[in-house]
Amino acid sequence: MVKKETAISPEPAHGLRRAVGIWGSFTWGYADVGADVYVALGLVMAAAQGATPLAFAVTGFVYLFIGLAYTELASTYPVAGGGQYYVLRGLGDILGFTAGWALLLDFTIDVSLFSLASAGYVNFFFPALNGRVEVPIFGQVQLWLAIEAVILILFLIGLNIKGIRESSRLNTITCAVDMFNESVIVFFGFLFAFDPNLIQQQFTQEFPSTYNFMYGASIAIISYIGLESISQAAEETVRPATIVPRTSLALIFTVLIYALSFSTLGLGMLPWQTFAQHMGDPVAVLAHNIPFLGFIAGPFTAILAATLIYASANTGVMGYSRITWSMSKFRLLPQWFKAVHPKFRTPVRTILVFSGVALIEVILASLSPNAYDTLANMYAFGAVTGYILVLISLIRLRVVDPYTPRPYRVPGTIHVNVRGQRVDLPFMAFVGLAGNIVIWVMVVLTHDIGRIAGPSWLLLGFLIYLLFRRRENLPLLGNVPRDWEAEQMRVLGEAQEFEYLEQYREALKRRNHG
């Protein structure tokens, strides 16, 4: 029997507005994973070399299981907070905070990295702006690139303060055009330029070292964050139990197709060194080298990539603003973060604070030898840490919360008895958990910056968490009492999922009378 606890914190005066439909939900995720090809291709090529398609395939396999887990959780618990909220419900306060704080690192890096990359594709037309400028004390710095990225982030701050509906329009238009463009590049690239002998020669003769392959595979994890973006928007999605499974599953297979297609096409058209030398605009270089179309496809792709990548940075702002809003609502962070703008009903304080973190990351990365690689090096630690906790939470929620209707379930079921009650455990979640642990080990072994910056970020978060909980006289390592059943009924009612709400109430009645 699930223990019913009493909530001690009031509901917010203003909730988030439900304004995202099926296409808007899909494009929130696609803006991230579509941008993965534009940003990650050069970074992964530089490390995985002739084995780049294999690196994308390995992470794609793990990504599949993460995607299925998020699909079940986001449709079952359609609230802002994403992975942080799922871990909070399944594993308690301290681990819920850990997942949220780890994913916060990723979202701030998402904003900084993709703003930087967007500027890099703009500079396809102005290559001199990618150069370095001598700055006293700091030496050679990518000054103009950093200034461009800072301007882009400042614009995103204003866009997201105004509202989710306005910011989602940017994604909706861009993603429709980009999916068409990527399909055109893949089709005509394989038709006119693909050389099977070249990809075979690079795979057999230029296979990377084990270290480089692990590093390249772990960098490809950038594509994962798109599913987190869909779950972050679940509380603002209309009829999420219906929409979220459709958009998530469509996104999973779209990502796999494009990632494997571009990495295979790239190695069949050009030497991997070419992409390594063009980390800022690898897909534009690929498109530019397609016979007959390249003179048009290259510049057009650069423009489109700059726009799509900027849309990805936009989803990052939405992501960290919703995570901190959720964490403050559930007393994991000061409730100061919970306040929403009285007119626009957006979490303005979280947008300002963590956008400031993203600005600092851009500035510091621009001082390093390679700003793109520096930010990507930090990226994977937070993502994999969060996803491991999400998968464990999915498994535990099947045990402690079997009564909530699940519009979608992860395929593959193991039937077990827990305290005389039958529980359906998701077999694929266990496989995904094992895969993520392997990638986490890869990250720790190969990411020199990430294995220092990631744990340091978590340590900073724990200090903030403990100081806040002590000041508020809340359990330091225990859980704040909450009535999750009342919370779930409220969520289903606000989402207008009345059929599932009635099923939930009936399940609770049967439990109480059984």
From residue 231, give the alpha-carbon distance in Å to each of 126, 129, 137, 245, 248: 37, 37, 44, 10, 9
How many whole angstroms separate alpha carbon 377 and alpha carbon 451?
9
From residue 286, give the alpha-carbon distance in Å to each of 269, 281, 298, 401: 8, 9, 7, 49
From residue 158, give the alpha-carbon distance in Å to each of 154, 317, 348: 7, 11, 9
Comparing CA positions, the residue from 87, 94, 103, 97 lying closest to residue 385 is 103
How many whole angstroms separate alpha carbon 53 and alpha carbon 262?
8
- Residue 464 confidence (pLDDT): 94
> Does residue 505 form part of some domain?
no
> Does residue 392 form part of some domain?
no
Domain coverage including residue 67:
22-376+441-466
Neighbouring CB atoms inside 10 A of 244's CB total 28
- Residue 221 confidence (pLDDT): 80
- Sequence-ordered list of residues with C-beta below 8 angstroms from that of 8, at least 6 positions apart, any chain: 480, 481, 482
How many whole angstroms separate alpha carbon 246 and alpha carbon 259?
20
Q: Which amino acid is residue 10, in one-letter code? A: P
Task: Please give, one letter per residue, the 3-state secondary structure of 120-169.
Answer: HHHCCCCHHHHCCEEECCCEEECHHHHHHHHHHHHHHHHHHHHCHHHHHH
Count Cβ atoms within 10 A of the Cβ of residue 512 and give its class: 0-12 exposed, 13-18 middle, 19 or more buried. Answer: exposed
* Structure token pair of residue 209: 């070292």
How many whole angstroms separate alpha carbon 210 and alpha carbon 214?
6
From residue 491, give the alpha-carbon distance in Å to each of 15, 17, 165, 330, 398: 11, 13, 20, 14, 19
> Does residue 266 form part of some domain?
yes
> Does residue 426 form part of some domain?
no
How many whole angstroms separate alpha carbon 353 and alpha carbon 343?
19
* Structure token pair of residue 493: 């009612």
Comparing CA positions, the residue from 309, 268, 302 lying closest to residue 287 is 302
- Residue 356 confidence (pLDDT): 93
From residue 207, give the alpha-carbon distance in Å to each of 41, 46, 89, 268, 441: 16, 12, 44, 14, 21
Task: Please report the beta strands in 252-397, taking only residues with DSSP state E, as ranges in sequence order.
Answer: none
- Residue 171 confidence (pLDDT): 59
Q: Report the CATH number that the domain containing residue 357 is assigned in CATH.
A: 1.20.1740.10
How many whole angstroms separate alpha carbon 11 and alpha carbon 429?
33
- Residue 21 confidence (pLDDT): 59
Give yes or no for a contact between 207 and 51, defined as CB atoms under 8 angstroms apart: yes
Sequential pLDDT tens for the chain (514 residues): 334 444 444 344 444 455 455 666 676 667 666 677 888 899 999 999 999 999 999 998 898 899 899 989 988 998 877 889 999 999 999 999 999 999 899 889 989 999 999 998 998 888 888 777 877 877 778 888 889 999 999 999 888 887 655 445 555 677 778 888 889 999 999 999 999 999 999 999 999 999 999 999 988 887 656 667 667 666 666 677 777 788 888 888 888 888 899 999 999 999 999 999 888 889 999 999 999 999 999 999 999 889 888 877 887 887 787 788 889 889 999 888 877 777 777 778 888 889 999 999 999 888 888 888 888 888 888 889 999 999 999 999 999 999 999 999 998 888 888 777 788 899 999 999 999 999 999 999 999 888 899 999 999 999 999 999 999 999 999 999 999 999 999 988 888 888 999 999 999 998 888 6
Query: Taking each helix axis from N to C terminus, what angle separates 83-91 and 371-400, rounded to the nearest 10 degrees?
Result: 40
How many whole angstroms separate alpha carbon 243 and alpha carbon 231?
11
Instruction: Match 């197709």 to its residue by tokens.
Output: 257
How many whole angstroms separate alpha carbon 23 and alpha carbon 168?
10
* Structure token pair of residue 483: 């009535």
How many whole angstroms separate alpha carbon 197 and alpha carbon 267?
10
> Does residue 204 form part of some domain?
yes
Comparing CA positions, the residue from 408, 3, 32, 54 lying closest to residue 225 is 32
Start-to-end Cα distance in the chain: 10
Q: What is the pTM of this model?
A: 0.86
How many whole angstroms separate alpha carbon 76 and alpha carbon 82?
11
> Does residue 14 form part of some domain?
no
Give yes or no for a contact between 240 and 32, defined as CB atoms under 8 angstroms apart: no
How many whole angstroms separate alpha carbon 310 and alpha carbon 350?
20
> Does residue 401 form part of some domain?
no
* Structure token pair of residue 135: 């700055």
Query: Domain tally for the chain?
Result: 1
Give yes or no for a contact between 241 and 407, defined as CB atoms under 8 angstroms apart: yes
> Does residue 227 form part of some domain?
yes
Instruction: Match 């600092």 to its residue by tokens.
Output: 360
